[in-house]
Amino acid sequence: MAMTGPLAPWAPGMAEWLTRLGYTPRLVERHLQLAGGLSKFLHRRGLTASDLSQELIEQFAAARRAKNRSRRPTARSLSWLVDYLSDIGVATAPAALPVRSEQQVLIERYRDYLTVERGLVPDTAANYVPVVTLFLAAHPVRELHELSAADVSEFMTSQCRQVSTRGAERLATGLRSFLGFALVEGLISVSLVGAVPSVARWSGSTLPRGLTSTQVAALLSSCDRRRPLGRRDYAILLLLVRLGLRAAEVSALRLDDIDWRTGEIVVRGKGRTEERLPLPPDVGAAIAAYLRRGRPRRPEREVFLRACAPLRGLTPDGVSEVARAASERAGLGSFGSHRLRHTAGTQLLQAGASLPEVAEVLRHHTIATTAIYAKVDHLALRDLATPWPGGAR
């Protein structure tokens, strides 16, 4: 059915846009039907495409849900249309944001500081935001100039009673980071980072939880490599378990980062670092199989793409979900990608690699971070054990 109303002139472009995003013809038709309904909605109100706003989209979606309970569209269902009309310059402000509070503005500036100045990836920066939100709830922005060391200590004391040791560590790290930002921004006049107490915890008190060789084999076997999705997931799991990459590093891997001639890949790690690692033959073969017989022919340069439209690069959360789904299929419980990073570390050590070599592969900044893996090499530790006094000789 032909589209009518103020959005009709752009219907062909909409179809082409959706197709480029990887939607199937059936889904393209469904999305165009929804856009056609929105076009009629605008026509009935005497509005044009340039009048499109987030409020109007919400009103349209609510009206459709009230009229037809079997299909319950949301404003998010039309996010592609907002992007398309903005891209071609038809809707200059289709999704006007509400007026932000002073606190929200400051948090956004802090997030930019973490990603631009400190070089943190967006997902890592997002982990600091809840801490700042909690702190600003107790100490509003306009009162920060009066902040004292006692206020900081009191906040930490009250909050640490409600969280675990790990949660308290995250709280302290996030608060120190924000107080450093506040000093740079001139929100406070003296450094209060030292007022954040350290969390008591024994260094290296936990063991890295790696998988056994049998469990790794079961994890990899859970991928159906006869299908494109299985080939993609198999290559991702091999990168995680053989090279110990982080989820964000797998997500950031681009086609230009693979040097097939030298057998190396460029890994973009924390703090915008770039390092070259050797590409093991089995990992390279798995990536090549996905590129040849699994990856859609797309202009995106990311190696690993989503399986469903819109076909874009896989996010770090998507990479971790690949590991989680595989662990559940293999009957190993449910865990994310970092468990496989631990597996890489323990397997390297058990294969005879030294701690500095393991640190180099895992790209640890200090050898102290890697030292925890020594505790899982029981055979090596046995030689260091002191005989029990009076025991058998």
Q: Which of 54, 90, 48, 94 is nearest to 75 (CA)?
A: 54
- Give Cβ neighbours of residue 108 (< 8 Å, ≥ 6 apart): 100
Burial 86-107, CB ≥16 within 10 A → b, else e:
eeeebbeebbeeeeeeeeeebb
Other C-beta atoms within 10 Å of 130: how many?
A: 12
Q: With beta carbons less than 8 A apart as the criterion, state whether 16 and 26 touch.
A: no
Catalytic residue among 246, 268, 295, 363: 246
Structure tokens belonging to residue 109: 């500036």
Structure tokens belonging to residue 305: 């793409």
Catalytic residue among 30, 118, 338, 375: 338
Catalytic residue among 84, 110, 234, 373: 373
- With the C-alpha atoms ordered 344, 348, 354, 357, is the resulting torsion angle positive or negative? negative
Q: Which of 326, 366, 161 is nearest to 232 (CA)?
A: 326
Catalytic residue among 139, 170, 270, 312: 270
Asked if 364 is an active-site residue, the reply is: yes
Catalytic residue among 31, 341, 342, 363: 341
Asked if 295 is an active-site residue, the reply is: no
- With the C-alpha atoms ordered 237, 239, 242, 245, is the resulting torsion angle positive or negative? negative
Asked if 254 is an active-site residue, the reply is: no
Asked if 67 is an active-site residue, the reply is: no
Other C-beta atoms within 10 Å of 27: how many?
A: 15
Q: Which of 191, 379, 224 is nearest to 290 (CA)?
A: 224
Q: With beta carbons less than 8 A apart as the criterion, state whether 325 and 228 touch.
A: no
Q: Which of 107, 195, 200, 199 is nearest to 152 (CA)?
A: 195
Q: Residue 333 burial (CB < 10 Å; 0-12/13-18/19+)?
A: exposed
Cα 175 from chain centre: 22
Asked if 290 is an active-site residue, the reply is: no
Burial 63-77, CB ≥16 within 10 A → b, else e:
ebeeeeeeeebebeb
Asked if 270 is an active-site residue, the reply is: yes
Catalytic residue among 231, 339, 363, 364: 364
Helices 165-185 and 102-112, packing angle to 10 deg: 90
Catalytic residues: 246, 270, 338, 341, 364, 373
